[in-house]
């Protein structure tokens, strides 16, 4: 029986997942690594660690499943979006990659708005200039590192650096390309106008492909390094969120996904290139051909709970910590938490936004603080959902949820109440790596297209339905929405 391999180059680990034609995950290999922060607000990784981790993860899953490289019929790629991987003409890395959660480029975002025009930028790319995107990172390097800039010949995203090491080719999928802020959203290709306005050389940017299209094949050198068969096709894949949406079957208009990992994402598939007028939620191409999506992103979702645990309950399990919140009534007895620990993207594209507890009294204890964190993340996700609805997406009756945060029964119920929708989980928890494998299955010819593949491979189970607390959360969310505008002047003090 043939297999396909999905590889996800995430911020903290590279994961390799093997699936069979029934959609069963036959094995998983993982290799973890760290993020470097050489200065406040900076976030970087050396691309070599992704290649090392991919070799480890691929060999681990092949060994664990007793699979020969020849049994793998195709490889799909997914990965963290927006990172700037800069190579010279020989393919040598020029500097550590600047990652999606790096916040150094506020001045460059202003420069982009000025050069392109704020409204024109949104009309072309579907997005405002924010610090997370690739384009402002390029302008920062040009301004601050001229010795790097002079050698620049290729711009890739993280998973596409891995593609280059696997196949020798420079290529990118359209979903990830749309996340650079350099794409014409409707045309699904690089924007000549934006590149010209920003004085960026079009030759630096690789050809782009739809998610299941084959972009190259495994080289003999990569085969020797990974255990895969030379000549195995590698498909374009997608940025992690688009690939995750494929993996949970969110590819048609009206379907919505929630990913609750370090960051929190609401993802809605659309049949046309919609965008929010002020660019407060993101509009990108989908990894499914001819589809687009809206996406709201909060930077610290489950990351907020991890920070809280590490700061106030080090060593305690998340399950035990969250269980205490179950005994606290909805809205945490008037206590609110703003989850802007790393700045924010949706609904406030503000790298200087900060986290806060508001409403503390002597009557609150750790249980209330924990529930406030869970609710604050849910309220932040609801802010993004409301902006997406205003942009024209249909209101979802069901949300397909994934991510480590969904392990908590308490948090699942809070999310269902605040988002006012049924939550369902899917047959796999492997997220973007599973979606990359599904795209690989289409590329291998197992299915005629992505809709057919997801219909065959993705199954759902009920997780939580809105309960009585949703009524009280409407009022609590209205209070929550007043807190950022009130505190922003404090956040922005220099």
Along the 494 residues of the chain, how does pLDDT read in single tens digits? 699 999 999 999 999 999 999 999 999 999 999 999 999 889 999 999 999 999 999 999 999 999 999 999 999 999 999 999 999 999 999 999 999 989 899 999 999 999 999 999 999 999 999 888 999 999 999 999 999 999 999 999 999 999 999 999 999 999 999 999 999 999 999 999 999 999 999 999 999 999 999 999 999 999 999 999 999 999 999 999 899 999 999 999 889 999 898 889 999 999 999 999 888 899 999 999 999 999 998 989 999 999 999 999 999 999 999 999 999 999 878 999 999 998 898 899 888 899 999 999 999 999 999 999 999 999 999 999 999 999 988 889 899 998 888 889 999 999 999 999 999 998 777 889 999 999 999 999 999 999 999 999 998 899 999 999 999 999 999 999 999 999 999 999 86
Q: Give the domain extent around 161.
A: 3-242
CB atoms within 10 A of CB 303: 20
In a domain, 88, yes or no: yes
40: its two tokens: 């406040």
In a domain, 211, yes or no: yes
In a domain, 126, yes or no: yes
Catalytic residue among 240, 350, 383, 417: 240
Longest Cα–Cα distance in the chain: 66
The C-alpha atoms of residue 183 and residue 195 are separated, in whole angstroms, by: 9
In a domain, 58, yes or no: yes
Look at residue 494 in the predicted model and tell me its pLDDT: 66
Q: Where are the alpha helices (DSSP H) in 324-445?
A: 366-390, 409-419, 431-443
Catalytic, 199? Answer no
SS3 category, 321:
helix
Q: Are 371 and 328 in contact (CB under 8 A)?
A: yes
DSSP code of residue 483: H
Look at residue 427 in the predicted model and tell me its pLDDT: 78
- The Cβ-side half-sphere exposure at 243, using a 13 Å CA radius, reads 35
Q: How many domains does the chain have?
A: 1
The alpha carbon of residue 372 and the mean position of all alpha carbons in its chain are separated, in whole angstroms, by 24
477: its two tokens: 């969310």
In a domain, 226, yes or no: yes
SS3 category, 168:
coil
CATH code of the domain containing 181 = 3.30.420.40
In a domain, 274, yes or no: no
What is the H or E stretch that residue 118 is in?
Answer: helix 118-125
As a residue count, the chain comes to 494
308: its two tokens: 């809280």
Cis preceding-peptide flag for 92 (omega within 30 of 0):
no
Q: Spell out the long-range contacts of 317-320 with Cβ–Cβ below 8 A and sequence spacing 24 or more.
A: 318/407, 318/408, 319/407, 319/408
21: its two tokens: 């034609």
In a domain, 392, yes or no: no
DSSP code of residue 93: B
End-to-end CA, the chain = 62
In a domain, 78, yes or no: yes
């Amino acid at each position: 029986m043939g297999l396909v391999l999905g590889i996800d180059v995430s911020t903290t680990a590279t994961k390799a997942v093997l699936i069979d034609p029934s959609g069963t995950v036959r094995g998983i290999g993982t290799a973890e690594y760290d993020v470097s922060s050489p200065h406040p607000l900076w976030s970087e990784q050396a691309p070599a660690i992704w290649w090392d981790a991919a070799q480890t993860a691929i060999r681990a899953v092949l060994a664990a499943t007793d699979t020969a490289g020849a049994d793998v019929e195709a490889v799909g790629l997914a990965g963290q979006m927006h990172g700037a991987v800069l190579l010279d003409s020989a393919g040598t890395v020029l500097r550590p990659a600047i990652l999606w959660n790096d916040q150094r480029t506020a001045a460059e975002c202003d420069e982009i708005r000025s050069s392109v025009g704020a409204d024109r930028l949104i009309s072309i790319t579907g997005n405002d200039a924010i610090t997370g995107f690739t384009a402002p990172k390029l302008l920062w390097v040009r301004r601050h590192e001229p010795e790097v800039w002079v050698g620049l010949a290729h711009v890739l995203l993280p998973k596409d650096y891995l593609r280059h090491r696997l196949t020798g080719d420079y290529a990118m999928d359209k979903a990830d390309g749309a996340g650079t802020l350099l794409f014409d959203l409707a045309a699904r290709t690089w924007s000549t106008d934006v590149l010209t306005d920003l004085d960026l050389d079009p030759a630096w940017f690789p050809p782009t492909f739809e998610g299941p299209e084959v972009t190259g094949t495994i080289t003999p050198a990569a085969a020797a390094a990974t255990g895969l068969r030379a000549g195995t096709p590698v498909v374009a894949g997608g940025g992690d969120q688009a690939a995750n949406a494929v993996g949970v079957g969110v590819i048609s208009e009206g379907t919505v996904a929630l990913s609750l990992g370090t960051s929190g994402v609401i993802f809605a598939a659309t049949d046309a290139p919609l965008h929010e007028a002020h660019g407060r939620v993101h509009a990108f191409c989908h990894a499914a051909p001819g589809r687009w999506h809206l996406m709201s992103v909060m930077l610290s979702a489950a990351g907020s709970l991890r920070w809280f645990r590490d700061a106030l309950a080090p060593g305690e399990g998340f399950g035990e910590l969250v269980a205490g919140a179950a005994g606290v009534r909805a809205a945490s007895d008037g206590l609110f938490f703003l989850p802007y620990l790393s700045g924010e993207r949706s609904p406030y594209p503000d790298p200087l936004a900060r986290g806060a507890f508001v409403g503390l009294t002597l009557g609150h204890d750790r249980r209330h603080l924990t529930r406030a964190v869970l609710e604050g993340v849910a309220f932040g996700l609801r802010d993004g959902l409301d902006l997406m609805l205003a942009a024209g997406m249909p209101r979802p009756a069901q949300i397909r949820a994934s991510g480590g945060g969904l392990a908590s029964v308490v948090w699942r119920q809070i999310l269902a109440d605040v988002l006012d929708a049924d939550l369902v989980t899917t047959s796999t928890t492997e997220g973007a790596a599973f979606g990359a494998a599904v795209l690989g299955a289409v590329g291998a010819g197992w299915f005629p297209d992505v809709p057919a593949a997801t219909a065959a491979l993705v199954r759902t189970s009920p997780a939580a339905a809105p309960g009585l607390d949703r009524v009280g959360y409407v009022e609590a969310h209205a209070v929550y929405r007043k807190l950022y505008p009130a505190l922003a002047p404090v956040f922005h003090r220099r």
